[in-house]
Amino acid sequence: MTYRDNPEIAKKYKSKRWQKLRHQKILLNPFCERCLKKGIYNSAYIVHHKDYITDKNFEDDDVFFNMNNLESLCKDCHNKEHFAEKDEYIFDENGDLIKNE
């Protein structure tokens, strides 16, 4: 079970406010911020919350919609962040789990 199994959290990720903020973050940081630190230019596809969204904090807009809590990541870095020991997980450009082998 993932945080997006909570319909209220899933609804927030589908909101126009989140979509607009996500788009702004990708425009500001179009390359993966972690790869850039290594001098690698990989396109960012996922906007990641540095402080993970949970059932306890998702209603706090200062956490959910805070630009300072967001990080532009490539799919590989996002997978490593969430599933460092389980590389079989794959996410789409919205951060949704699409494959679990």
Is the pLDDT reported for residue 54 higher than 60? yes
Tell me the pLDDT tens digit for each residue of 4-24.
Answer: 678 999 999 999 999 999 999
Q: How confident is the model at residue 1 (pLDDT cuts 50, 70, 90)?
A: very low
Determine which helix (DSSP H) or strand (DSSP E) holds 77, and give its type and residue range. helix 75-82
Tell me the pLDDT tens digit for each residue of 76-88.
Answer: 999 888 776 554 5
Mean pLDDT of 56-79: 95
**pLDDT for 76:** 93
Is the pLDDT reported for residue 53 higher than 70? yes
Whether residue 64 contacts residue 49, with contact meaning beta carbons closer than 8 Å, is answered with yes
Mean pLDDT of 57-74: 96
Distance CA 59, CA 87 (A): 30
75: number of CA atoms within 13 Å, CB side? 12
Tell me the pLDDT tens digit for each residue of 30-52.
Answer: 999 999 999 999 999 999 999 99
**pLDDT for 98:** 64
Distance CA 31, CA 56 (A): 30
Calculate ∠ Cα 63-69-72, nearest 5°: 135
